[in-house]
Structure 1
Amino acid sequence: MPVREKFEAGLKELQSRLTELGEFSIQALQKATVALETKNIELALEIIDDDSKADRMYEEINDYAILLIAKQAPVAIDLRRIIVGIKIATDIERIADFAVNIAKATIRIGSQELVKPIIHIKEMVRINQEMLLLALQAYNEEDTKLARRIAEMDDQVDELYSIAFLELIEISKNQPEFLQQISHLTFVCRYLERAADHTTNIAENVFYLVKGQQYDW
């Protein structure tokens, strides 16, 4: 196989591994939401145990990217593709960590009835999942238009976070006996807000990949 074709195949493999890690994180967020809503401690523990898979995939992506650089000595745009891939892997792995944090919050809440339906949390999760899928597509296709859409969706998550946070604070005033649970739910909202920020980082890196400069949203 010619050198260039071999290198392109290597880049495709890197993209494939990033997509696999992204899909894992999306599923982890979904499972964590189900565990929280249904107070499923067993599922929460499963999410925590599975985090080692995300860590392993992340490490393998980094090792593979470094190997590509060492073997192929890429320049300019090719080097940016690999470096951006490494940065994206870091953001995706962090999102998987947030799913673990939500699972831990579920365990701490235990069997206690939730103070309110987690409608806003579920919507934040839905948007986060859509954002990450779009971010991976934007990276694979080097599409800056998709990247810009992600920034707009991040604003939606920020708004939902503010609404949910204020509602929980109001509940704490009237139901102080649930203060510990409310604290955990507040952190869950914060984890999802931060997850959206990490996906926005991916979008910014896609813009850098294509344009060679940072983009100020």
Structure 2
Amino acid sequence: MTSHIARETEKLKRRLLTLSADVEETYLMAVRALEEMDETLAKQVATSDDRIDRQEVDLEEECLKILALHQPVANDLRFIVSVLKINNDLERIADMSVNIAERTLDLLKVQPIEIPFEFNSMSQKVYSMVKKSLDSLVNLDLHEAHEVIALDDEVDALHHKSYGMVIEQIRQQPDRIEALISYLVVSRYLERIADLATNIAEDVHYLIEGDIVRHIM
């Protein structure tokens, strides 16, 4: 690695970590907004989308610039490819978090109803996956990345359980179908965030080991 490419890749890493922290905070705010039915907080999350989108675009442009100007190979190339993929997944996690906030705003317009599935348990497990995936990136920790991949099945199972619970509530309270469907969609958003955290963990594995584990582990 030349000193110039080393400086450029270090700059990329710092920008990626800044984006990671922003996305993590956006997720936590979205979850809290739903738990507390906090309209102000939900609106704050919704307006964060443009800022994170700009960061994602700027980071992608930096990666493409390095590829064009320096034509990196081997480990340098693998790092930049990983950054491009993780950058995209982080932006999509932020999008899902914004979607949760927007569902919160929808729920505030209808008669209140208790969350019809284990939202606290599911959202905490998803947060653990997001945090572990980002920590595995920061520390290049293969073990932590593999922990994230293993947790994905647990979140899938929780989403499947949520679906059954909500459908049962719809049968019992057909007049509350609008709110119940919104909560079912929130469960789906959480499941998608878990998938994206898994993607990041798989990309960390690729960064460290050089082989692709998607659809294998």
CA contact (8 A) 1:164 1:189 kept: yes
Q: Which of 28, 44, 47 in structure 1 is aligned with 2:45? A: 47
Q: CA deviation at 1:25?
A: 1.6
Q: Which runs of 5+ in 2 are unaligned?
A: none
Q: Which moved more, 1:157-166 or 1:118-127?
A: 118-127
Distance 2:120 2:26 in 1: 13
SS of alignment partner, residue 114 of structure 2 = coil
What percent identity do the matched residue pairs reach?
A: 30
Q: CA deviation at 1:163?
A: 2.1
Q: CA deviation at 1:94?
A: 0.2
Q: Deviations over 1:8-41 (max 9, x none)?
A: 2322221221222122122111111222122222
Q: Deviations over 1:167-193 (max 9, x none)?
A: 111111111111011101000000010
* Aligned residue in 2 for 1:174: 172
* 1:163–1:179 CA distance, 2 compared to 1 (3 A): same
In the TM superposition, what are the counterparts of 1:1-217 in structure 2 within 5 Å?
Answer: 4-117=2-115, 120-215=118-213, 216-217=216-217
Q: Which runs of 5+ in 1 are unaligned?
A: none
SS of alignment partner, residue 116 of structure 1 = coil
CA contact (8 A) 2:34 2:100 kept: yes
SS of alignment partner, residue 74 of structure 1 = coil
Q: Deviations over 1:72-117 (max 9, x none)?
A: 3210121010011010010010000001111111111115454324
Q: Deviations over 1:143-172 (max 9, x none)?
A: 322211111121221122122222111111
CA contact (8 A) 1:131 1:150 kept: yes
Q: Deviations over 1:36-86 (max 9, x none)?
A: 122222221221111111101101110111122233321012101001101
Distance 2:121 2:6 in 1: 38
Moved over 3 A (4+): 111-114
SS of alignment partner, residue 211 of structure 2 = coil
Superposed CA RMSD in Å reads 1.8
Equivalences, count? 215
Instruction: Provide TM-score, normalisation by structure 2.
Output: 0.91
Instruction: Provide TM-score, normalisation by structure 1.
Output: 0.91
Q: Which moved more, 1:58-67 or 1:32-41?
A: 32-41
Q: Which amino acid aligns with 1:172?
A: I
* 1:118–1:89 CA distance, 2 compared to 1 (3 A): farther
CA contact (8 A) 2:117 2:166 kept: no
CA contact (8 A) 1:37 1:118 kept: no
